[in-house]
Structures are given as structure tokens and as C-alpha cells.
Amino acid sequence: MSNTAENNRLLHTSKQTRTPWLMKSLKAFGGDEQGVFAVIFGVLAIVLVALGGAAVDFVSVQNARALTQSTLDSTVLALQPDIYSKTEPELQAIAEALLLERLSSINVGAEFETVTKNTAEGSLFLEARIDVPLPFLSLVGVSNINARVSATATRKQLFLEVGMVLDNSGSMNSFSRMDNLKTAASNATEIIFDGASASTTTKIAIVPFTSFVNVGANNAGASWIDVTGNSSIANDNFDDDDDDSTPFNGPVNRLALYDQMNNVQWGGCVDARPHTETSGPTAHLDTDDTPPDLSDPDTLFVPSFSPDTPNSWAGWQSDYISDTAAAACSSLSGGASERERQERICKYSGNIDTGAWGPNFDCPSAALLPLSNTKQDVLDAIDVMAAGGATNIHMGTIWGLRALSPTLPFAEGRPYDADTTKALIIMTDGENTMYSANNMNGAHYYSPYGFPVNQRIGVWGWNNTQLRSEMNARTLEACNNAKAAGVVVYTVGLNPPNAATQTMLQQCASSLANAFFPAAPNELDTVFTQIANQLSALRLSQ
């Protein structure tokens, strides 16, 4: 046999020998009951799937935490202003509803473990526990995982002090202006007090004004009232002898003059302080809140006393004592000058029929309400306002500033500091008014500056425009002094009568956006509501 044939025979024989052994081995392996390979393989497969899916579960947990965190962040910011009006359980119920609504789409459970409010610090703390299902890890016995998420919002509630300076002049009787003003101011009061810890953080002062501001007849004995007559303006328009050429140095205690008249009491109004420079050329005693000081009588406030004018010329309500009665208390003759008849001090005694005004000329019946944290007191002060008289925006503005000041004459205000927001809302329906006249006084009636002849505003001979321009300048100076102290100033000019008044009100405001010019009385409510909402926002500091 050839070698080739022999090799082929041996190869065939070898294949026949090996094949049955391999098949037998495989069958034996598959049928061996002692082997655990299949079990191990199955277990490992589950573990491998769980471990592979763990990455998916981890992403789900992270997404749930992120969604919960963003929800808590927005919820705590939204609910923080409510900490002053809602209990912690009420806040928790609202927060849980918001959170569960957001998490419902990803099938995640949640509950709040901690809801803590701190009204003193203005903070709200929320902490929630979420329950996240783990579909893949549940294959190895880990069905869910808990995670805690928290958020805090702190808005310190600032102290808010607002002075409403409100025009009570006679023109406010027209077209229901006063009724609309009362509604607007009352609604603004409700908004400003709403949501505030009113007993400690929010106060409002009401400053009605005509020509004058009524600071309260109950303050007759206050330390800041000039009862000695030593102020340099206390003697204006008074004299104690029959010689007009001799100077009269007083003193004149004007409250004592009221006491001498049996049926007349001081109405509560005071004159403007002298236009004396204080801390610089833009600050004067009648345009700033320099505290009254007994050692400097000009810093005190002199009770207003409109003098009786001579019978020979009409002076609105200024002539309230007959010249005959005035002469009876002195040696005045029938030929005495008008000046002597007007200034004779002894005529203010006994029972005198002073008519509607008398020495209290143009003193508003509604008195200034100092800063109060009692809402009803503020509403009552608004309700008793009545229209009648002339317009002096300067007097309203400066007394608004003094009402906000932490110093006398009204010391209810907090210090000017970062924790306190102070604001003035100055409302008028007209222009500064003072009517000049060709008489010995230079004006038709007495004003907080006396008469032009007293040279406390202008001089004898100034016309209406000159007097109004000076009043505008002093109004603006008072506004600027308020703004320099950090007071936010809003002005509201209802149907302003002229460009000069509108410009003055715009310059008086803290910004052009703070100056409002409603065309109709029924628009006052919208304006005051807008201002009140802005002030409520200022009360909260992030």
C-alpha cells in the first residue's frame, strides 16, 4: 500500500475514534445533576442587569432631586410674604400641594418634614423628603430611596413709614374731589397695612393742609410751642402803644391772647418758622426739620393768630372786631392810623364774635395725625377731612417731613437708617396760593408767613405771581431736604392748573415716575393704589 493511502486510512480511523468521545462528553456535562453553572449564570445575569440599570436609577434620583429643589425654591419665595398672615400648618398644606403637583409626572412621592417661619427675621424654611422608586435596583431588593431637600427664603421686613400730605383746600369740594381722595387714601391705607406686622413695622401719618397745617390744639402745652413770645416772628402785627413809629419788642404769648377771648380757642395751627438759613443755602427753618430748641426761640413754633384788620377795608374774614371796640381799650382817637387800629393788642379780650375764622383764619378742622400703627386711627383721620380754604403745598410738605422725622415736634418716626423706608405722598388739586392786595399789609389775608409787609415772604408790593413763585421755591426746597434725608417722595397733581405747578411737582418727586397727574378725580384711587403697592414692595428686602 502506498504511503498516501496508508495516511488517509489512519486519518479516517482517528476521526472515527475522537467524535464519539466529544459527543459523550457534552451529553455528560448537560446531564450532570451536580453542576451549578446554570444557577450561577442566572444569578449573575440578574446582578449584571441591576448594576447596568443602576445608572438609569441614579439619573432618575438626580432628576427627582433637581425638580424637587427647583419647586421648593420657587415655593418658599412665593410663600415667604405670607409668614405674617398664615400659620405653619397652613403654609405646609400649600407647599405640599404645589410640590406633589410638580412631582406627579415622574411618580415620586413627597412629604414635608419641616416648615418653620421666623417673622422676626422674615424667614421661611422648608424641608421635604422624597421617595424615589428604583425599577432596576429593585431586582436586587432595593425598591426605593429617600432623599431630603430643603430651601430657605429670607426677606427682612423693613420698617415702613408713610406721610400722606393731602390737600383740603376749598377747590376739593368741586366734582367730588374730596370724596374720591378719601376713598383713594383709605384704600391705600388698607394695602399698606395688608400683610404687614402692623404693630411693629408699619406706620402712616395724615397731614391735611390748606394755607396752614393743624398740628393739634392738644399740643398747646408742648415744649416745641412758643408760649413765651420770644420768637422773632411772635410780635408781628402787634403793638402796645398808640405810636406807630415806636418799635414793639413784645413778648406776645399768642396762646394767652386766645385765653383772653372768652369764646375763642386756639385751633391748632402754627405759623411758618422764619426763613433763616440752617445747615446751608438750601436749608432753612421753614423748609427743614431742625429740631426745636428752647435756647433758640426761632426754632419753636408760634401759634397762628390772624390779626383783626381795620373796618375801612374788606379783608375776607379778617375784620372781626369793630374799630370802636379796639379804641375803647386805649387812647386811640378816631383819626388813628389803620396800622395802629390793627395792631392794638388790648382789643383781644372778652366776648368777641369772630365769625367763621377770626384769629384761626384758614386753619383746617382736620388735625395732623402723627405716625400711627393703628389702621383705624388712620382711616378715621382721613374720614374727618373737610374742604375749605386756600392752598399752601409748602406747609403740607414740610409738616409731612416733620411727621416722618425721629425728632420733635413729632418724634414717632424711626431713625433714618437702612432698616426703615420713609415716604411722602403729596397730593394737591391746585397751585400755591397767596393773593396780593393794595393795602397796608400787601395781601388780602393772613398766611403762615404773616403778610408781605412782615417780610417773611417777599415784601410789600409783590404780586400774585411773585408770591406763588417763592412758595413754589420753598415747596421744592422742603422736598429736596426730604429726599436728602432718604425719604421717597411721590407727588399727585390732580388736573394741575399750570405748567409751573406741574414742573414743581415733577421736581419735587424722587423721580419722574413718582409724579402722577390724573385728569379726573375718579383716577385718584388707581394712582394711590399703584403707589401703595410700590410701597408694600419696598417694605420687603431680599
State the sign of the Cα–Cα–Cα–Cα dihedral 485, 507, 431, 422. negative
Expressed in angstroms, the distance from the first to the final Cα of the chain is 109
Q: What is the pLDDT of residue 341?
A: 83
3-class DSSP state for residue 75? helix
2, pLDDT greater than 60:
no
Q: Which residues contact 59 (CB under 8 A, 6 or more apart)?
A: none
Average pLDDT (460-472) is 97
Q: What is the pLDDT of residues 7-20, one digit of tens each?
A: 445 444 444 444 45
Q: What is the pLDDT of residue 123?
A: 85
Q: What is the pLDDT of residues 135-166, one digit of tens each?
A: 655 555 556 667 788 988 776 668 999 999 99
196, pLDDT greater than 60:
no
Looking at per-residue pLDDT, the higher value among 536 and 459 belongs to 459
User: Between vectors from CA 297 to CA 294 and to CA 303, what angle results, nearest 5°?
Assistant: 105
C-alpha–C-alpha distance, residues 263 and 140, integer Å: 100
3-class DSSP state for residue 246? coil
Backbone dihedral angles phi then psi of residue 284, each to the nearest 5 degrees: -135, 165
Question: Would strands 369-372 and 109-118 be described as parallel, antiparallel, or unpaired?
Answer: unpaired
542, pLDDT greater than 70:
no
C-alpha–C-alpha distance, residues 443 and 467, integer Å: 10
Looking at per-residue pLDDT, the higher value among 410 and 46 belongs to 410
Average pLDDT, the chain: 85
Q: What is the pLDDT of residue 32?
A: 53
Q: What percent of the chain has pLDDT over 70?
A: 82
**Lowest-pLDDT range of 2-11, 95-104, 399-408, 420-429:** 2-11
For helices 37-79 and 88-103, what crossing angle results, to 10°?
130
Q: What is the pLDDT of residue 201?
A: 86
435, pLDDT greater than 80:
yes
Count the alpha carbons within 13 Å of 282 in the hemisphere toward its beta carbon: 9
Query: Which is nearest to 534 in space by CA: 423, 427, 428, 429?
Result: 423
Q: What is the pLDDT of residue 478?
A: 98
Q: What is the pLDDT of residues 101-129, one digit of tens each?
A: 887 777 777 788 889 988 767 788 999 88
3-class DSSP state for residue 151? strand
Q: What is the pLDDT of residue 329?
A: 79
C-alpha–C-alpha distance, residues 257 and 389, integer Å: 24
Does this model's pTM top 0.85? My answer is: no
Domains of the chain: 48-154 (3.10.450), 159-239+246-301+363-437+448-541 (3.40.50.410)
Q: What is the pLDDT of residues 31-69, one digit of tens each?
A: 555 555 455 544 444 454 445 545 555 566 677 677 778
Q: Is residue 362 a contact partner of residue 390, using CB atoms and an 8 Å limit?
A: yes
Looking at per-residue pLDDT, the higher value among 32 and 295 belongs to 295
Q: Is residue 206 a contact partner of residue 164, using CB atoms and an 8 Å limit?
A: yes
